[in-house]
Amino acid sequence: MGKSFAVIGDPIDHSLSPNIHSAAFRELDLDSSYIAYRIPKGELEIGIDGLKKIKIHGFNITIPHKIEMMRYLDKIDESCSLIGAVNTVSNIDGVLKGYNTDMDGFLEPFKKKELNIIGTKILLVGAGGAARAIVAGFAKEKAKSITIANRSLEKAINLSKFAKTIGLDANAIEIKDVKDTAKDYNIIVNATSVGLKNESSVIELKGINEKTIVYDIIYMPMNTDFIKKAKEEKAIIIYGYEMLLGQAVRAFEIWHGIEAPYNAMKKALLGGF
Ligand code: NDP
């Protein structure tokens, strides 16, 4: 019997994950299928029971269930306990094991492009769930320091405390206090949801240069105002779709135990834009 996979969340209609994983199945001739399954907030437990009944082999989790899903796991991978949220689950004979592939997904483009993180100064804008996985990634790769800028200062302070506990020199500021300091950093990341609706970038990027790495984790639209501003300054760009692809590749490898067909998955993803 073929293996079945899903992504759960709400809203889920526009998820690109079914396209990406189905392309991998086709490329490697795997007898597997991957669907998007809408589970509204408050219905996670019933939804999970249903997935277990159909002997789902694995699933991804997106908004709003990434944290609540932790409660329904039988086993927790280290990536998952560190970040406190789960985006990938494997189901082996009814035992659900949770992973968080957002951190590795975020780091993947640095590895692919051989961009250095060791000893760098980071400006991270945003302090939500994705930002936490990003902080864990920068700590793992031994960045020198991180400034976390967020609309609500309290959340930035909390995240900077987490950063310190995992060995990263950190401080917290409000977004409005970034002003013209972007040029003082080696790597600048937008991890807010600002840009999804084509809004203007929340920070200015004047004075950065061709050595500055600018990474927007928003993947739709691909060319956000933040990315456009970075291009004007000739910075090195990493697009949100590269992180999305990175986390999908990692999830594929957890589930199938073989190397993911990166190029086929990338082609399917870019075709979805
Ligand atoms: P959260 O809801 O946990 O966090 C949202 C963040 O955006 C918070 O820091 C919030 O600030 C900030 N924010 C929202 N609106 C504004 C505003 N008007 N002005 C300033 N800041 C604002 O979301 P996630 O962390 O889960 O995701 C963030 C984004 O990253 C989403 O757009 C998502 O699509 C994208 N993403 C991309 C991934 C990829 O693979 N490329 C993976 C995961 C997420 P405050 O705390 O003040 O509310």
Kindly report, as residue ranges, where domains of CATH 3.40.50.10860 are found in the chain. 3-100+243-271
Please give the C-alpha separations between residue 20 and each of 1, 109, 218, 260, 269, in angstroms, as whole numbers.
Answer: 22, 17, 17, 11, 6
Main-chain phi, psi angles of 164, to 5 degrees: -65, -40
Kindly report, as residue ranges, where domains of CATH 3.40.50.720 are found in the chain. 104-238
What is 3-100+243-271's CATH number? 3.40.50.10860
pLDDT band at 249 (very low <50, low <70, confident <90, very high): very high
Q: Which residue pairs from 36-43 have beta carbons closer than 8 angstroms and sit at least 24 positions apart in sequence? A: 36/6, 36/7, 36/12, 37/6, 37/7, 37/8, 37/12, 38/8, 38/9, 38/10, 38/11, 38/12, 38/13, 39/8, 39/9, 39/10, 39/65, 40/10, 41/10, 41/65
Identify the DSSP state of 200.
P
**What span, in angstroms and rounded, lies between the C-alpha atoms of 66 and 63?**
6
Q: Which atom of ligand 1 is nearest to the CA of 220?
A: 34
Q: What is the pLDDT of residues 80-128, one digit of tens each?
A: 999 999 999 999 999 999 999 999 999 999 999 999 999 999 999 999 9
Q: Is the pTM of this model over 0.85?
A: yes
Q: What is the pLDDT of residues 251-262, one digit of tens each?
A: 999 999 999 999
Distance 47 CA to ligand 1 centre (A): 25
The residue whose CA has the least distance to atom 17 of ligand 1 is 194
Distance 197 CA to ligand 1 centre (A): 12
Q: What is the pLDDT of residues 172-212, one digit of tens each?
A: 999 999 999 999 999 999 999 999 999 999 999 999 999 99
Q: Residue 80's pLDDT is what? A: 92
Closest CA to 123 of 183, 66, 79, 53: 183
CATH architecture of 104-238: 3-Layer(aba) Sandwich (3.40)
Q: Residue 272's pLDDT is what? A: 72
Distance 201 CA to ligand 1 centre (A): 13
The secondary structure element, H or E, covering residue 207 is none
The number of helix segments (H) and strand segments (E) in the chain equals: 9, 12
**What span, in angstroms and rounded, lies between the C-alpha atoms of 46 and 8?**
12
Enumerate residues lining ligand 1, CB below 6 A.
102, 105, 126-131, 150-152, 155, 175, 191-194, 196, 202, 217-219, 240, 243-244, 247
| DSSP-assigned beta bridge partners for residue 147 | 123, 171
Distance 31 CA to ligand 1 centre (A): 36
Counting ligand 1 atoms within 8 A of each CB, the residue from 192, 194, 217, 266 with the most, and so the one to mutate, is 192
C-alpha of 25 from chain center: 22
Furthest-apart CA atoms within the chain: distance in Å? 58
pLDDT at 1 over 90: no
Catalytic residue numbers, as ranges: 66
Residues with Cβ within 8 Å of 204's Cβ and at least 6 positions away in sequence, in order, are 178, 179, 180, 182, 229
Q: Residue 27's pLDDT is what? A: 97
